[in-house]
């Protein structure tokens, strides 16, 4: 019995990270209508920076709960800063061009970031386990489960709630949704679309960075992690529907559960199962479960 509880928790854990990845991708797509191929590498950047801070400064420098707050926040801020530079310089000149150019430029950024990781952090994975192991384990029946995973699961739900609140209950969120529904009309109503693009891009990127900052002490920061994450976020996006926050939430839960079932019972075809489900959804409902 307890093994199934652990399966469920693992599914939630995976769903939480996937949600954070897809939520950012969706905000950017929703407002800017750009699929940010560099998104996975912004997540990786958050992971690298967090690990680098912990390794360089030493985890001892952050007493108590600060260990779980300061390093990831530094990671998030670096990612935010990167996004703040990237949007006006690299993306903005492409808005008037055809969509393929926008896709290409984000692909270019993906490659540049990957090379920068290699250049700055070297070819070997960065690993810092202390924050993960310090939290200990909980007993579930006669099995044990790392407490850190509960933290990551909670993070996913907290960000989901915060995003829902931001988008539906605040003036900023309502303005953002109006702009994603009809950009031209929003501009004529007084929305500075140019700066809203920057803000949305930075918010989306920072959520990805946050996911990276929290996952890195559980896994490692390693070359290629961004692309792997991007591919999975795409599956969630396809299942949930482009630009839909509800879709990101439900899609992440579905993919999290499927992935867990895959790893537990059909490890050889784990990824194939995900693609198969994505293909089925695309066939039955091409716009995804919650897409329009």
Partner 1 sequence: MLLEVNNIDVNIGAVQVLRDLSMNIDKDETVVLVGRNGAGKTSTIKSIIGLYPVKSGKITFDGKDITGLPPHVRATRTGIGYSPEDSRVFPDLTVEENIKLGIWLSKHEKMSEKDMEETIFNIFPELKRIWNRRGLYCSGGEKKMVSIARALSLRPKLLLLDEAFEGLAPVVVERFIKAVNQIKQLGISILIAESNVNIAAKVGERLYAIDRGEIIYAGDPMKIFQDQTLLNTIRGY
Looking up tokens 């990167």, which residue turns up? Answer: 82
- Choose the stretch contacting partner 1; rule: CB under 8 A; options: 51-59, 95-103, 180-188, 230-238: 180-188
Do the bridges between strand 143-146 and strand 137-140 make them parallel or antiparallel, or are there none, so unpaired? antiparallel
Instruction: Report the residue from 103, 112, 178, 227 that binds partner 1 according to the rule CB under 8 A.
Output: 178
Instruction: Report the residue from 33, 177, 218, 246 that binds partner 1 according to the rule CB under 8 A.
Output: 177
Q: Cα separation of 122 and 187, whole Å?
A: 45
Is the CB of residue 205 less than 8 Å from the CB of residue 79? Answer: yes
Element (H, E) at 273: helix 270-284
- Choose the stretch contacting partner 1; rule: CB under 8 A; options: 27-35, 73-81, 172-180, 254-262: 172-180
Q: Cα separation of 40 and 24, whole Å?
A: 10
Q: What is the nearest approach in angstroms of partner 1 to the Cβ of residue 235?
A: 25
The 3-class SS string of 194-225 reads HHHHHHHHHHHHHHHHHHHHHHCCCCCECCCH
Q: What is the nearest approach in angstroms of partner 1 to the Cβ of residue 177?
A: 6
158 touches partner 1 (CB under 8 A) = no
Residue in 58, 48, 53 with CA at minimum distance from that of residue 123: 48
Report the residue number, 177 or 218, with the smaller CB distance to partner 1. 177
Restricted to residues 29-88, the positions that interact with partner 1 (CB under 8 A) are: none
**What is residue 98's three-state secondary structure?**
coil
Instruction: Report the residue from 100, 142, 184, 268 that binds partner 1 according to the rule CB under 8 A.
Output: 184
Binding mask 192-231 for partner 1 (x = CB under 8 A): xx--------------------------------------
- Choose the stretch contacting partner 1; rule: CB under 8 A; options: 7-15, 124-132, 169-177, 257-265: 169-177
Q: Where are the beta strands (DSSP E) in 119-233?
A: 137-140, 143-146
175 touches partner 1 (CB under 8 A) = yes
182 touches partner 1 (CB under 8 A) = yes
169 touches partner 1 (CB under 8 A) = no
Is the CB of residue 78 less than 8 Å from the CB of residue 50? Answer: no
Instruction: Report the residue from 6, 77, 94, 191 that binds partner 1 according to the rule CB under 8 A.
Output: 191
- What does the radius of gyration of the chain's CA atoms come to, in whole angstroms? 19
169 φψ region: left (φ > 0), alpha (ψ -120 to 50), beta (else): alpha
Report the residue number, 162 or 189, with the smaller CB distance to partner 1. 189
Q: Cα separation of 264 and 121, whole Å?
A: 33
- Choose the stretch contacting partner 1; rule: CB under 8 A; options: 12-20, 156-164, 174-182, 235-243: 174-182
Report the residue number, 178 or 289, with the smaller CB distance to partner 1. 178
Q: What is the nearest approach in angstroms of partner 1 to the Cβ of residue 252?
A: 22
Which residues contribute to the site for partner 1 (CB under 8 A)? 171, 174-175, 177-178, 181-182, 184-193
């Amino acid at each position: 019995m307890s093994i199934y509880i652990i399966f469920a928790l693992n599914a939630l854990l995976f769903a939480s990270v996937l949600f954070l990845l897809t939520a950012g991708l969706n905000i950017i797509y929703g407002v800017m209508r750009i699929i940010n191929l560099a998104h996975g590498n912004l997540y990786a950047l958050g992971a690298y920076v967090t690990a680098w801070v912990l390794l360089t400064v030493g985890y001892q420098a952050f007493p108590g709960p600060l260990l779980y707050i300061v390093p990831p926040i530094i990671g998030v801020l670096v990612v935010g800063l990167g996004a703040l530079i990237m949007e006006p310089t690299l993306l903005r000149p492409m808005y008037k061009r055809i969509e393929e150019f926008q896709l290409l430029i984000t692909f270019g950024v993906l490659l540049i970031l990957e090379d920068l990781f290699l250049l700055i952090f070297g070819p070997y994975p960065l690993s810092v386990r202390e924050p993960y192991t310090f939290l200990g384990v909980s007993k579930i029946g006669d099995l044990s489960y790392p407490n850190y995973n509960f933290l990551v699961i909670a993070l996913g739900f907290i960000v989901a709630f915060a995003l829902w609140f931001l988008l539906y209950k605040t003036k900023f969120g309502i303005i953002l949704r109006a702009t994603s529904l009809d950009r031209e009309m929003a501009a004529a109503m007084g929305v500075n679309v140019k700066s809203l693009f920057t803000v949305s891009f930075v918010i989306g990127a920072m959520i990805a960075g946050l996911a990276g900052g929290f996952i890195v002490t559980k896994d490692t920061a390693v070359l290629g992690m961004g692309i792997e994450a991007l591919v999975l976020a795409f599956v969630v996006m396809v299942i949930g529907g482009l630009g839909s926050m509800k879709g990101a939430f439900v899609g992440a839960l579905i993919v999290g559960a499927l992935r867990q079932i895959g790893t537990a019972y059909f490890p050889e075809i784990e990824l194939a199962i995900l693609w198969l489900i994505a293909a089925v959804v695309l066939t039955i409902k091409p716009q995804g479960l919650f897409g329009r």
